[in-house]
Structure 1
Amino acid sequence: MIEKPIVASANGSRLAVQIYGSGQPLVCIHAPGIGMINFSRLAGLAEHFQLILPDLPGHGASAPLPIPFTMADLSETLEETVHALGHKQVVVMGYSQGAPLALEWCLRHPGSIAGLVLISGFSEVNEWYLHSRFYLAEAIAKLGGVRLLARSTAASHLDKQADRERWIAHASRTDAKSLHHLYTIGHRYRCTERLHEITRPVLLVYGQEDKHMHPYGKLMEKHLPQARMVAIPGVKHQIVTRAAEPLGHLCKEFIGSFSVSPFDPT
């Protein structure tokens, strides 16, 4: 187990990466403005998989990418990072806006992806609820409100003050210009028409109380050839912290269903 972040050079960038455990590599892509600490409650998965937790460019100890960058640029950075770490094929977990980034990565490099776990995710933004959340986040980030956003996400994801303070300390290291641009490209991103190209197994996970997001899951389930949608009771959007235990069970079951006989990586 590597307890301190290592730095992997990738695509002209340098990403800070935390690695736990061994076995099937599971790369976890965090939501904007948070960083690898987004997955702190899922550390128990390291007993079954090798958890690879990168800080996206401009987050934590990772260097920013030159602006403007695209979702494709981010996916190439992740692709180069996992290869720099010695992996040819990984399972990818994407949370919130990390989900469309995971989809873009799989569309560009299907041979590198064994399967996808998409949590509270979307393949496009098509209604007022998510539009409004993006517009607000973009405005706050443009005004340099990184710490305000960090406090907001900490409060929604965690109850204990000590946990919140650790979260805020990490999330507050986010570069404001990178964050604003990341929200902007995530808001505009759309890959629904290409989802049929993804032939890997996909697990779509939503909070049962996160009803505004359910249509996004149903849309992806309709267009992805090998997708299954699951709703976890008693939780809203913040599944990675508020429902870490049931999410962990779902991941173990899902990845175990295909990792014994992995798909042809070619």
Structure 2
Amino acid sequence: MKRILVPSDLSDISENALRVAVDIADRADAEIYLINFTEHPVETFTATGEIDKKYADEENIYTVQLVQKYQQQLSALSTKYGAGGRTIHFQVYDDELKGGIVDFIKDYNIDLVVMGTSGEESADEFFSGNHTEQVIEVATCPVLSVKKHYVKSDYNTIILGLDTERDSKDNFSQAAAYLNDLADSLGARIDIVNIVKPGTNDKVKIERKLIDFAARYGIKDHSVTIVESDDKEKGLINFARTHSAGLLAVFSHAEDGFFRIFRDNLSEELTMSSDVPVLTINLHNV
């Protein structure tokens, strides 16, 4: 866990995500990449942060000035949170968010994306999800979503909400490796939790499946818990709250467009509802 990407729209929500990224980076001795994704015609900045004027033609002057403003704001955030020798790189990246994330993760070998989220989804975003969900759909590394009012806590426990269902595209080996890496970096223990309906009779069988899963994929320093609840989302969130979890992790099958809407996407529900930061690993991408 050496490189953390924080996409920023320079809002209070994304600054809160930066605070969480700093907490994790301090524990993991990681570098942070604070990036604003905006399509623009600017190719270079001078050593003082000014735009190279040969690229600032009149046709693009408004966008150029906007990029310059973003660059200055990112620089200020880097200075504000870079105290104590932290490494925070910053850049206005020439691409829209969804496509830019894919390229940036690949080009810079990013290990974790930390994103702020309002926990809201407007009608015009329904078919593509909010920005965090769009990133989860395409990211080839884990994505940590942080609500805007999240207050710093310890990261001693990671709750992994795990189902026993799977398909041929699921890459559990890599997902478990990512989770172990993060847990090692944070010094955290993993509690594997499965939510079952009240009165379920085969809890012993389910527990055995979870134990076998942990052994097969090498999940370190863990425990297994079966929780009864009529609602998976509420059951996981309540368990995370009552056990003072630092992170709530889920393995996702995030899909694009219409197909995503008709799936029981627990990751999306948790991202919208949970006050505990939600770590999502897309099993089809990692």
Q: Decide which structure has greater helix share.
A: 1
TM more than 0.5: no
Query: Could you state the TM-score of these two structures normalised by the residue count of structure 1?
Result: 0.26
